[in-house]
Amino acid sequence: MTKMQISFLAIAVLLCTVVLAGCGGAPAVPAPQEPAAAGAAAAAIPNVEFTQQVVRYNTIADYEAATGNKITEFHQAPMLDALVAAGTLPPVEERLPAEPLVLQPADTIGEYGGTMLSGGDGESWAQEDLLREFPNTYGSDMEGVWPNVFMSWEVSADGKSTTFKTRPGMKWSDGEPFGVDDFIFWYEAVAMNKELSPNGINELLVGGEMGTMTKVDDTTMLMEFSAPYGILTQRFNRWREMPYLPAHYMKQFHPDFADKAALDAIVKERGYTNWTELFEAERYWYNNPSIPTIFAWKATTASASAALLEYERNPYYWKVDIAGNQLPYIDKESLINLGNQEGIVLKAIAGELDYQHQEWLGGPINFPVLKQGEQAGNYRLILQKGWSDTAGTVNFNMSIDDPVLRELFNNKDFRIALSLGFDRNEINEVVYNGTFSPSQPAPPDGGIYHGEDPAFLQYIEHDVDRANEILDGLGLTWNSDQTQRLLPDGRPFELTAQANSDGIGSPMAVAELMVQGWKDIGLTAAIKPQPGDLQMERRLAGDYEIQIGSANVGGQNPIIAALRGVAVPIVPDWMINPPWAQWVMSDGAEGEEPPADVKRLYEIHDEFVAEPELEKRIELEKEIFAIHNRNLWIISALKAPADLESVWYSYFSNRMYNIPNPVAPEYYYAVPSTWSKHSD
Amino acid sequence: MLPFIAKRLLLMVPTLIIISFVGFIIIQAPPGDFVSSYVAGLQRQGDVIDPELIAGLRSRFGLDQPLHIQYWRWVSNFAQGNLGYSMSLRQPVADIILERLPFSVTISLLSLILVYVIGIPVGILSATRQYSLADYTATIISFLGVATPSFLLALVMLWLLFVWTGNAQLGLYSMEMQNAPFSLAKMLDLLNHIWLPALIVGIGGTAGLIRTMRANLLDELPKPYVTVARARGVGPTKLLYKYPLRIAINPVISTVGYTLPDLIEGEVLVSLVLGLPTLAPILLRALLQQDMWLASSVIMIQAILVLIGTLLSDILLAIVDPRIRGSI
């Protein structure tokens, strides 16, 4: 072929491939709307003080009773005006429920319009955080049990049954009514279905049996259990499995409600192998444009792996602000999928994002570079209430086969010696710039549980002499050149520490410094980096000596000590010692019998679940912490501060306003439907 | 020729079987499976997952079956065109791959074209003007290109572009065009963004090609037949292109075969850095989470691409070189 022909062919191929690529990608959606002009903002509202946090009023009547102001008419976003005028949407008064939730925004009545851009990916929790509507919720201060999807409830005297009321007139995003039928459908189709939930739903299993959900009328539902279930309403504050589904839509995907042959045809046509896959894919609100939703925005992008996920206003959203404007203010949410965190950080520095959760920004390490770019990028970093995670937690294999190590690990003095054997202050300076605080596993400072209490701060000094004294007393003599200790049976005192390589708070760095410190007391520890789920597997298999990682023992909502598998033995891979947890969970059938304190912890969990009174539950939690402090089964190096901006921060563009300050740890509690964006 | 192609196509089948087996084993190698990484993620978020739910999830996904049964189930489905179900993305794997494959292929092909469009002329220039300034410049740039890892180059270019323009050049489309229907404007937007990854992925190959081209041509140019043709009055252009170049270009064409895997692999790293919507980020996450069917299927697709590329390059070589055509 001549040169001309080759060049021509090359150019043709080039053009073809570009055309091919242009054809690839997500299916077409309508062009994005222009941000609307200023919405129906009311004049200054009397008796209302904007507090930089969102204030909730359960119903319009509650708002009127609290402030004396009346809400006389409702307004909607201008982007919906055309649809209502054309008759495709009913007017806003008919779309709202009879009892909408009333919210007071953080700064001012917002303007309608705008698109919020964030970074995330299709299967992370980034979009879930912004959208989900739990039946109840915590307040912005992460306390209390506030009605959300539920309007009210009544608990029976014996705590075994609760009657819930939903909001009358509430509708799904396609206009169909939302009510108790949708909860009952979830119960029958998901909770009681043997294929989707082979062993029932944990949160409904109280007293050994699954509870029941029955319809009393269209807006009233009764839940009954065989044992008292005091924390049921609080459970609904943050239960990822939201117990409602659009019955009228999902019935077609369930064999109990749909024609088997038709269902099989759909399964085959869509490329799934069985109906459970189809059902799970369809019910995932965040990636399915077809399913009706009650969230503030509804998905318009079908694929979880699309490069840009988009969510558009739900015209039937059931919340209004104090001026009667139907929420949300913002028209559209977008999540750009960049596949990795560094890309998101770069976009954040460039000022191209509107908001970003701390989890995606890399934590304290990136705080300086993000702070530096605030002016140029026109954004701000806000304190996001954080978790007082404990970094450098060391757990021991208490059921290890080796009898010498087993005796040592089970000896509290040995653990104390290891705790005294490294310098927490040095680790704090090196890894965390001095922002953390030396502590054993503890709840946050202040608040109800006072993590700064000395009971949580035992043996945090760096006392090499005392540690050496203890180890001498345990029969661990030094070897001949005084470099290392020997176990009582003469073997060198060496341990392998499996360190969490992908945990929060850089446990690897902490582990390395801890190990260096232990050299002075005669322990030679080798570090083996492992990702967190591998650590879990090894714990289950009993294949470890000590593990180093990070953990959160609880004491701040929604991380409740009595309900999480860190402080109490309710998971089979319990950090403190899996066989002990397996013993209590199986009533002695599996595992190893634990000390009495562990059995008590398990009892506390059951009592906590049944206990309806908040004060008594707080007492139970305090007991949990006391037991842990007494036994010191796990030791740790440092505790993160829960309220330090350089550790816990969230990113917001300066175009965004009505952002609570400080913002709650999960956006859901900060109520993104009241966030607003300036249209320039 | 046809028996040659048929034999090669038949040989692809056992190769793919071996690849599928090895790939599957490696993906399963770390302890645990998708459910354990999913549960670990949920526990990090604060949810307590009870063991019965875990067992239920495992049986639903067929992860409690012995390994060879899982393998057989996957391979038999794959052979029939059913690529399986992605547990992490809740979609059939085929949908995910079809959405992302065009971008992967485009970037690889574009890089390949860039490699040849830039590499061959510069190689020729380098050879004909040996030891000149042009030659030295080309040499230095090629060595730099070969020596720098593609992801490092991507990072540096990304940062430089950010500093110069203030925009983060990530992704393949700008925000407005991302989900818009296909149009001329969208294609232009794509061209605007795709030159950077294509260039970065291709630059290592370009460097290699320049040096190979130069060396081959320098081998041919001093040969007696060239001198004789010159003496007989053949013009310099025709002299260069009709004879020595045709011979020098043989090794270049036959090496398309192993340039292609380099491009596909280079595209993986560059896609991760630049946030491109190709198969690479999907594959990485699937491997980390042990989303078995998705990871295995993507690896198989890439293997098929490489094998087809190699076959095409062999066919091309047979077309171009009569010596090889005669021997097969």
For residue range B161-203, list pLDDT tens digits in order: 888 888 777 878 877 777 777 788 888 888 888 888 888 888 8
Contact across the interface for B89 and A350, Cβ inside 8 Å = no
pLDDT for B148 equals: 86
Shortest Cα–Cα distance, B171 to chain A (Å) = 7
Around A58, how many Cα atoms within 13 Å sit in the side-chain half-sphere? Answer: 18
pLDDT for A18 equals: 52
For residue range A471-502, list pLDDT tens digits in order: 999 989 998 888 899 998 889 999 999 999 87
pLDDT reading at A37 higher than 50: no
Contact across the interface for A287 and B90, Cβ inside 8 Å = yes
The DSSP H or E segment spanning A137 is strand A136-137
Contact across the interface for B89 and A123, Cβ inside 8 Å = yes
Q: What does the pLDDT average to over B281-299?
A: 87
pLDDT reading at A39 higher than 50: no
Q: Residue A612 — φ and ψ, nearest 5°? A: -85, -20
Contact across the interface for B102 and A281, Cβ inside 8 Å = no
Select the residue of A533, A541, A565 nearest B37 (Cβ to Cβ).
A533
By C-alpha distance, the chain A residue nearest B173 is A307
Q: Which of A177, A343, A331 is nearest to A676 (CA)?
A: A331
Contact across the interface for A276 and B194, Cβ inside 8 Å = no
Set of chain A residues whose Cβ sits within 8 Å of the Cβ of B44? 504, 532
Q: Residue B295 — φ and ψ, nearest 5°? A: -65, -50
Cα A367 to Cα A346: distance, rounded to the nearest angstrom: 13
Q: What does the pLDDT average to over B275-296?
A: 86
Cα B39 to Cα B11: distance, rounded to the nearest angstrom: 42
Q: Are A73 and A324 in contact (CB under 8 A)?
A: yes
Select the residue of B46, B117, B176 nearest A558 (Cβ to Cβ).
B46
pLDDT for A216 equals: 94
Select the residue of A10, A122, A272 nearest B113 (Cβ to Cβ).
A10
Q: What is the mean pLDDT of chain B?
A: 82
pLDDT above 90 covers a percentage of chain A that reads 56
Cα B294 to Cα B287: distance, rounded to the nearest angstrom: 9
pLDDT band at B229 (very low <50, low <70, confident <90, very high): confident
Contact across the interface for B281 and A340, Cβ inside 8 Å = yes
Q: Which of B177, B134, B173 is nearest to B274 (CA)?
A: B173
Shortest Cα–Cα distance, A137 to chain B (Å) = 16
Select the residue of A10, A198, A533 nearest B32 (Cβ to Cβ).
A533
For residue range A418-447, list pLDDT tens digits in order: 999 999 999 999 988 888 999 999 998 888
pLDDT for A22 equals: 45
Cα A551 to Cα A500: distance, rounded to the nearest angstrom: 11
Domain with CATH 1.10.3720.10 in chain B: 101-327
Cα B325 to Cα B319: distance, rounded to the nearest angstrom: 7
Find residues 301-320 of chain A whose CB sits inside 8 Å of chain B: 301, 303-308, 310
The DSSP H or E segment spanning A165 is strand A161-166
Set of chain A residues whose Cβ sits within 8 Å of the Cβ of B171? 307, 336, 338
Set of chain B residues whose Cβ sits within 8 Å of the Cβ of A17? 105-106, 109-110, 113
Q: Is the peptide bond before A328 cis (omega within 30 degrees of 0)?
A: yes
Q: What share of chain A is helix, strand, coil (3-state, %, to 5)?
A: 35, 20, 45
pLDDT for A293 equals: 95
For residue range A302-317, list pLDDT tens digits in order: 887 788 889 999 999 9
Set of chain A residues whose Cβ sits within 8 Å of the Cβ of B95? 271, 303
Rank A375-379, A559-563, B260-264 by mean pLDDT and report only the highest: A375-379
Q: Are A165 and A153 in contact (CB under 8 A)?
A: yes
Cα A509 to Cα A519: distance, rounded to the nearest angstrom: 16
Q: What does the pLDDT average to over A554-579?
A: 87
Q: What does the pLDDT average to over A564-584?
A: 90
Rg (alpha carbons) of chain B, rounded to whole number? 24
Q: Which of A621, A340, A484 is nearest to B275 (CA)?
A: A340
DSSP string, B17-38: HHHHHHHHHHHH-SSS-HHHHH
Select the residue of A202, A304, A570 nearest B89 (Cβ to Cβ).
A304
Q: What does the pLDDT average to over A249-263?
A: 93
**Which residues have CB under 8 Å from A402's CB, separation 6+?**
none
More confident: B91 or A296: A296
Rank A430-439, A597-606, B74-83, B191-200 by mean pLDDT and report only the highest: A597-606
Strand partners, A321: A103
Shortest Cα–Cα distance, A278 to chain B (Å) = 8
Cα B38 to Cα B57: distance, rounded to the nearest angstrom: 10
Contact across the interface for A307 and B178, Cβ inside 8 Å = yes
pLDDT for A31 equals: 34
Q: Are A616 and A234 in contact (CB under 8 A)?
A: no
pLDDT reading at A100 higher than 60: yes
Q: Write out the two tokens for A661.
A: 């300050």
Among A11, A129, A132, A305, pick the best mutation site for testing chain B contact (most B Cβ within 10 A): A305
Shortest Cα–Cα distance, B278 to chain A (Å) = 9
Contact across the interface for A532 and B44, Cβ inside 8 Å = yes
Assign A656 to helix, strand or coil. strand
For residue range A9-34, list pLDDT tens digits in order: 655 565 555 555 544 443 333 333 33
The question of ipTM being above 0.90 is answered as: no
Shortest Cα–Cα distance, A584 to chain B (Å) = 14
Q: CA separation (Å) from B111 to A608, A634, B85, B184, B279?
A: 62, 54, 31, 22, 16
Q: Residue B169 — φ and ψ, nearest 5°? A: -80, 70
Assign A222 to helix, strand or coil. strand
Set of chain A residues whose Cβ sits within 8 Å of the Cβ of B42? 240
Contact across the interface for A29 and B179, Cβ inside 8 Å = yes
pTM, two decimal places: 0.84
Q: Are A451 and A639 in contact (CB under 8 A)?
A: yes
By C-alpha distance, the chain B residue nearest A23 is B182
Around B296, how many Cα atoms within 13 Å sit in the side-chain half-sphere? Answer: 33
Contact across the interface for A24 and B106, Cβ inside 8 Å = yes
Cα A275 to Cα A282: distance, rounded to the nearest angstrom: 10
pLDDT reading at B261 higher than 80: no
Architecture of domain B101-327: Orthogonal Bundle (1.10)
Q: CA separation (Å) from A358 to A352, A364, A383, A555?
A: 16, 9, 10, 21
Find residues 230-249 of chain A whose CB sits inside 8 Å of chain B: 238, 240
Cα A493 to Cα A479: distance, rounded to the nearest angstrom: 10
More confident: A185 or B42: A185
pLDDT for B48 equals: 67
Q: Are A298 and A289 in contact (CB under 8 A)?
A: yes
